[in-house]
């Protein structure tokens, strides 16, 4: 059975990193953007990381500019923004595509394991759904991720256990991580 440990990605300096390096840890893999309305998610993500990393938890941050050009900077500009504005310490990888023919294979795998199930109910969620639908139309059946700050929860064995959309409450994400950590 394929797991996230079967993938290699690039760090923000361009070096290859095997996700096997994270074997045995609980992971939260996130596609991010510095200019998105969900960018404040960095605060609860960093708080969760600081509180739980000693228990075997890692957040893997993958910037992406495919959603309304909300991450236009290069890898170093994005990293500087995140560390200066939000004090992030969790690993940040090279900027990637998460949709289309150039999608990072890891994200195609994650989305196949836990497909999109909607943004939820309410006016804000309906508006995001419409906007995301227009944005992702160009990717057709390769529109794996619908918006920035989609999060995938990975078990210690490398299996994909849950998908959280950017509209999901960050407290629910934290609860799921804490349950998995025991």
Per-residue pLDDT at 147:
93
> Is pLDDT above 80 for 127?
no
Domain ranges of the chain: 4-181
Helix runs in the chain, H state only:
42-52, 75-86, 105-113, 123-136, 170-181
80's CB contacts (< 8 A; 6+ apart) are none
Residue 57 pLDDT grade (very low, low, confident, very high; cuts 50, 70, 90): very high
Q: Can you tell me the distance from the alpha carbon of 147 to that of 166, in angstroms, rounded to the nearest whole number? A: 7
Per-residue pLDDT at 134:
79
Strand, helix or coil for residue 60: strand
Residue 78 pLDDT grade (very low, low, confident, very high; cuts 50, 70, 90): very high
Per-residue pLDDT at 129:
85
Longest Cα–Cα distance of the chain, Å, equals 42
> Is pLDDT above 90 for 128?
no
Rounding to the nearest 10 degrees, give the CA dihedral for residues 18, 116, 24, 157. -100
Overall size of the chain counted in residues: 182
Closest CA relative to residue 97, chosen from 9, 13, 161, 15:
9
Specify the pTM.
0.94
Per-residue pLDDT at 31:
97
Active site positions, annotated: 36
Half-sphere exposure in the Cβ direction for 155 (13 Å, CA)? 7
Average pLDDT over residues 113-125: 85
Per-residue pLDDT at 135:
80
Residue 103 pLDDT grade (very low, low, confident, very high; cuts 50, 70, 90): very high
- Residues 19 and 154 sit within 8 Å (Cβ to Cβ): no
Q: What is the CATH number of domain 4-181?
A: 3.40.30.10
């Amino acid at each position: 059975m394929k797991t996230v440990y079967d993938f290699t990605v690039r760090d923000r300096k361009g070096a290859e990193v095997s996700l096997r390096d994270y074997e045995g840890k609980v992971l939260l893999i996130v596609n991010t953007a510095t200019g998105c309305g969900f960018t404040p998610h960095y605060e609860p993500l960093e708080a969760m990381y600081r509180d739980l990393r000693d228990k075997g938890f890692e957040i893997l941050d993958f910037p992406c500019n495919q959603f309304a050009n909300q991450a236009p900077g290069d890898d170093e500009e994005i990293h500087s923004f995140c560390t200066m504005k939000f004090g992030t310490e969790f690993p940040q990888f090279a900027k990637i595509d998460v949709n289309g023919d150039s999608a990072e294979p890891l994200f195609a795998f994650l989305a196949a394991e836990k497909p999109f199930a909607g943004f939820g109910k309410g006016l804000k969620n309906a508006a995001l759904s419409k906007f995301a639908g227009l944005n992702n139309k160009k990717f057709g059946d390769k529109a794996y991720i619908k918006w920035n700050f989609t999060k995938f929860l990975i078990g210690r064995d490398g299996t994909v256990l849950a998908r959280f959309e950017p509209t999901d409450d960050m407290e629910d994400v934290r609860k799921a991580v804490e349950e998995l950590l025991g």
